[in-house]
Structure 1
């Protein structure tokens, strides 16, 4: 129960800090980038360091980076299918998901994900 309270407090503080940073930066379209994902990831890593140690947090951070790379590959493929081949959104996302799964699992295997 205390882990959830700590996660709530740390996450809220980090989200607030990133929101203030996003408010200062231009253009305002960066605000969404700094609002959620980085702050939640940092709060989770902070709690992982506290609860399980630095080795566990390092493994989690490598897994987060592998997931981010896989998401970037998925996004690039969706954009390519939508713009270049003029495919509709649903088929483009389904095809990209089929490509995303092997990329994600390969990167997680390289990153040394837990079994």
Structure 2
């Protein structure tokens, strides 16, 4: 239970810090970018280092990077399908989800192979 309290406190402090950073930067649309994801990642890595050591946290960071790259692939695919192919949002999202799965598991396989 204490892990959740620590994650809540560290995540909340990081969200606040990133919200201040997002408020200072222009355009204001960056505020959401610096909101939840970086703070949750930092809190998770901090707890992982404390409980399991740097090697385990390093493996988690590789997984986070693979997920971020896969999310970028998904986002670009959805935008292209919506704008260029004029596909409706639900089919574009579902089609792009397949690309996300391929990218995520492909990168995870590459990253996990580089760790061993």
With structure 2 as the length reference, what TM-score do the two structures score?
Answer: 0.93
CA drift of 1:59 comes to 0.3
Of 49-58 and 15-24, deviating more is 15-24
Number of aligned pairs?
Answer: 113
Q: How does 1:101-112 map to 2 (within 5 A)?
A: 101-112=101-112
CA drift of 1:13 comes to 1.0
With structure 1 as the length reference, what TM-score do the two structures score?
Answer: 0.94
Query: Considering only aligned residues, what root-mean-square deviation do their CA atoms show, in Å?
Result: 1.1
Question: Counterpart in 1 of 2:79?
Answer: 79
Q: How does 1:7-86 map to 2 (within 5 A)?
A: 7-86=7-86
CA drift of 1:108 comes to 0.7
- Structure 2: 5+ residue stretches without partners: none
Counterparts of 2:19 and 2:66 in 1: how far apart (Å)?
A: 25
What secondary structure is seen at the aligned counterpart in 1 of 2:67? Answer: helix
Task: Give 4+ residue runs of structure 1 displaced > 3 Å after superposition.
Answer: none
- Structure 1: 5+ residue stretches without partners: none
Of 93-102 and 38-47, deviating more is 93-102
CA drift of 1:74 comes to 0.6
Counterparts of 1:98 and 1:6 in 2: how far apart (Å)?
A: 35
